[in-house]
Structure 1
Amino acid sequence: MRVTNAMRPVHPGEILGEELQELGLSAKSLAKALVVPTNRITAILNGQRGITADTALRLSRYFGTAPQLWLSLQQAYELRMAEIELGDDIAARIQPRDLAGSVGAEAIGR
């Protein structure tokens, strides 16, 4: 699938970068506040690393957000990337199961 800029998924690092810019913070200062190596933050900001549960907990503590926010951003990014990279192939190779009648009949005991 060809991806245009309008369809391009947003990496959580882009969102984090916007937050840092608005607050006038550097990757180094955020890393120090989160007690993590600076290269972890720069890799996230550059889209080379995802946000892990550990990082989500640290970001949520620092920014006063829910950890799920950061994990949801990461999950949405990964799912969109998978759709772009694998979606057409999966659609071509896997046929949906015909559920007409089978699930409903079992559910009501027929």
Structure 2
Amino acid sequence: MAKKGEDVFEAPAGGFRFGPIHPGRTLAAELEARGLSAHALALKLRVPANRIGEIVAGKRGVSAETALRLGRYFGNSAAFWMNLQTKYDLEIAEREFGERIKAEVEAA
């Protein structure tokens, strides 16, 4: 599939569909809603500033430890943040390996 824009891909039937959404986009929206910078959040979470900055930039995934800290700070759960990461990772893997795996692995 050819990439059409930042998050929009051409679908096989000629339509368009949105690409995987990195958890950093959700985190960026939370930061914006609260008027916080990535650096300020890092201080509150007691993690290196580059960790949050890289997550927001989509260059780093959310680890279990970071998910625990984010869940505690935002009042949701670590599972929320881990589920975002897992969904993103699976969508990326499906795009990269899905067709090859379908051809190589016979279903039981």
TM over 0.5: yes
The count of aligned residue pairs is: 97
Which residue identity lines up with residue 89 of structure 1 in the other structure? R
1:96 alignment partner in structure 2: 107
- Structure 2 residue aligned with 1:54: 65
- Encode CA deviations 1:42-86: one digit per residue, 9 max, x unaligned: 110011110011000100111011110000000000001000000
Select the structure that is richer in strand. 2
Letter in 2 for 1:57: L
Segments of 4+ moved more than 2 angstroms: 1-4
Distance in 1, matches of 2:68 and 2:104, equals: 39
TM-score, normalization by structure 2: 0.85
Which sections of structure 2, spanning at least 5 residues, go unmatched?
9-16
Residue 16 of structure 1 contacts residue 45 of structure 1 at CA under 8 Å; is this kept in 2? yes
Measure the CA separation in 2 of the matches of 1:8 and 1:39.
Answer: 25
Structure in which a larger fraction of residues adopt helix: 1
Whether the 8 Å contact between 1:12 and 1:51 is mirrored in structure 2 is: yes
Specify which structure has the bigger relative contact order, considering alpha-carbon pairs within 8 angstroms and separated by 6 or more residues: 1
Which residue pairs with 1:35 in the alignment?
A: 46
Q: Give the drift of 1:22.
A: 1.0
Q: Percent identity between the aligned chains?
A: 46
Normalising to structure 1: TM-score of the pair?
Answer: 0.83
